[in-house]
Structure 1
Amino acid sequence: MFGWLRRRREAPALPDALWRSTLAAYPFLSERSPEDVARLRELAARFLRDKEFHGADGLAITDAIALAIAAQAVLPVLHLGLSWYDDFVGIVVHPGEVVAPRQAMDEVGVVHDWEEPLVGEAMPGGPVMLSWHDVAHASADSGYNVVIHEFAHKIDMRDGASDGCPPMPSKQARQQWLAVLQPQYDAFREKVIVAERFGGEEPWLDPYGAQSIDEFFAVACEAYFVNRQRFTSEFPALVPLFDGFFQPV
C-alpha cells in the first residue's frame, strides 16, 4: 500500500485514475477551485509518504482507502501546511464502529466503568483511529465527515488543550475566538436539548457537537468543509471566524 511512495523523499504525483475516483467518491473535494484541488493532491501525496496506515480487525488497507483518508485529512490544513500534523505518524483504520472501555472517577471518589462506541478518536500526540464504514459514508448533505472531525481535534490539540480553540498568536486572539465560538456552542446545545427533551426541531448539525465545546468545534469543522453553503446559512457568525483561521491571507 503506497510503499513506493514512502520510499521517496519527494512525493510524486498520485496515479490519475485513483485520484479521479477519490474526487468522484467525495465531490466536496472537487468542488473547490482548480488551484485548491491541485494543492490538495500535492498535500495528499506528501501525507501518504509521511504517515503509516494500519488496518485493524482484519481490514486490509488498500491504496483507495489510504488516499480517501489522506485527501480528506489534508483539507483542513490546505492553507496551513502539513506541519500541523507533525506530532503523530499512525492512522489506525477499523472496518466499523469500535467499542472502547472507559473509566473515570467522580467527585466523591467512586470509579465508574462503561463502554463507549466510537467511530473515530484522536489522541494527543498519538495516532488517529477511524471507522472505514463511516469514512466511506461521509455526507455533504448532513455535514457529516469523521475524517475532518478527528483531524480538527488534532488541530485543536496543538496547543496542548482540547478546548475548541486552536493555537492562537496571542491571548487576545484566543479571547476573540472564544467570544464568537462560545455563544454559538451555547445556542446549539440549547437547541439540541429542546429537540431531545421537548420534541423541538432537530438541528442540522450532528447533535454530538452539544457534548462539549471541543466537540462542537470538530462537528462545525466537518460541516464548514463539506457543505459551506448550508453551514453559512446555519452558522453565519462562524464563517468569518473559520475563514480567518483556515484560509489566512
Structure 2
Amino acid sequence: MLSKLTQWFGTRRRDRALRDYAIEDALWQATLDGLPFLAHLDAPDRVRLRELTSLFIAQKEFSTAHDLELTDAMTVAIAAQACLPVLNLSLDLYRGWVGVIVYPGEFVIRKTVEDEDGVVHEVEHDASGEAWEGGPVVLSWEDAQMTGGTDAYNVVIHEFAHKIDMLTGEADGHPPLMRRWHAPLDSQAWADIFDHAYDQFCAKVDAVPDRRWARFERDSLIDPYAADHPSEFFAVCSEALFVQPHAFEAEYPELYRLLARYYRQDPARAGLTFPPA
C-alpha cells in the first residue's frame, strides 16, 4: 500500500511539473532546429526528450553571470542537451545538486594543485565548462551554442557526462553500472574495453611529433585533451557518441558499442539492441 501511495504522489508531481514547465511548440521546434545531432531521434524519442527536458528544468535552478540575460531558449537548449544522455536511463543520474550557471563566454577557473615534488601551486586557466562534485554545472553560453560543426564538440554533454561519472564517488571514467539498465555489462567488462581504449589513445597522442601536433588536433575525432585523464576520455567520447556517432562508430567500433550499451542508445544505427530495463 505504501509503495502504491508513493508511486501515486510521484506521478502527481511529475504531471504537475510537465504542466507547469511545458515547452511551447515553437520554442521546442527552434531547439530541435538548433541541435542538428538530435535528428537521429524518432518521433516517440523526441516526445520523451521534450518531457524529460521539462522535468529537468523543474528540478534545476538556472542562473547567469556577468549580466547575461537568461532566456527560455537558452534554458531549453541546455536542458535538452543535458537530457539526451539520460533519455533511456533516468534523471536520477543528476541527483544531489541543482545549479546550472551560464557565463556569456569562457570563464576563469582557479585551482590549487600539488606537483610530483609536493610543491603546491595556485593555477588558473580559461574554461568553457566545469562540473563540480556535489555542486553546479558551469557552462559558457558561447560554447554551448557550438552545435553544428563537423567535429565532436559539445560542452553540455561533456559536463553532464562528468556528473554521471561522479556518481561513483569521483570522476574516473568508470560511471555507475546499474543492473536494471546495464546487465550483463559489469565493471570488469567496462574496464577491459574502456581502460584499454584509453591507454591506446594516450599512446597515440604521445607518439605525435611536435611538428605534426597541429594537424593531429585538427584531424582527430577525439580531442587530444581526452588523454589528460580517464574522466576526460569518458566525457569526450560521450560527446562523440551523440554528436558524431557515425564517425565514432567507424573509427572506434568497440568503444562505440560500449558507450552505446551504457547510454542505451544507438545514434549511429549500428543495429544494437538493448534488453528491457
* TM score, norm. by length of structure 1: 0.91
Q: Where do 1:219-234 residues align within 5 Å?
A: 219-234=236-251
Give how far 1:194 is off: 2.9
The alignment status of 1:195 with 2:212, answered yes or no, reads: no
Give how far 1:138 is off: 2.4
Aligned with residue 242 of structure 1, among 234, 259, 263: 259
Structure 2 match to 1:16: 25
Q: Where do 1:28-177 residues align within 5 Å?
A: 28-139=37-148, 141-169=150-178, 173-177=186-190
CA contact (8 A) 2:106 2:128 kept: yes
The residue type equivalent to 2:74 in the other structure is I
Larger displacement relative to structure 2 (136-145 or 21-30): 136-145
CA contact (8 A) 1:124 1:154 kept: yes
Give how far 1:187 is off: 1.7
Aligned with residue 216 of structure 1, among 227, 233, 252: 233
CA–CA distance in 2 between the matches of 1:231 and 1:238? 8
The alpha-carbon distance between structure 1 residues 108 and 206, as it changes in their structure 2 partners (threshold 3 A), is closer
Give how far 1:234 is off: 1.5
CA contact (8 A) 2:17 2:54 kept: no
CA–CA distance in 1 between the matches of 2:95 and 2:47? 22
Aligned with residue 181 of structure 1, among 194, 197, 207: 194
Give how far 1:196 is off: 5.5
The residue type equivalent to 1:74 in the other structure is C
Identity %: 45
CA contact (8 A) 2:36 2:147 kept: no
The alpha-carbon distance between structure 1 residues 169 and 40, as it changes in their structure 2 partners (threshold 3 A), is closer
The alpha-carbon distance between structure 1 residues 48 and 69, as it changes in their structure 2 partners (threshold 3 A), is same
The residue type equivalent to 1:190 in the other structure is A
Larger displacement relative to structure 2 (71-80 or 232-241): 232-241
Q: Deviations over 1:150-198 (max 9, x none)?
A: 000001011112110111258x911210110112112222222333535
Larger displacement relative to structure 2 (20-29 or 100-109): 100-109
Figure out how many residues of one structure are paired with residues of the other and give that number: 242
The alignment status of 1:205 with 2:212, answered yes or no, reads: no
CA contact (8 A) 2:165 2:176 kept: yes
CA–CA distance in 1 between the matches of 2:244 and 2:88? 18
CA contact (8 A) 2:105 2:141 kept: yes
- Indicate the SS of the match to 1:137: coil
CA contact (8 A) 1:140 1:223 kept: no
* TM score, norm. by length of structure 2: 0.82
**Runs of 4+ residues deviating >3 angstroms:** none
Q: Deviations over 1:51-87 (max 9, x none)?
A: 1101001111100000000000000000111111111
Long gaps (5+) in structure 2: 1-12, 180-184, 265-273
The alpha-carbon distance between structure 1 residues 109 and 62, as it changes in their structure 2 partners (threshold 3 A), is same
The residue type equivalent to 2:165 in the other structure is D
CA contact (8 A) 1:143 1:226 kept: yes
CA–CA distance in 2 between the matches of 1:145 and 1:109? 35
The residue type equivalent to 2:142 in the other structure is H
Long gaps (5+) in structure 1: 1-5
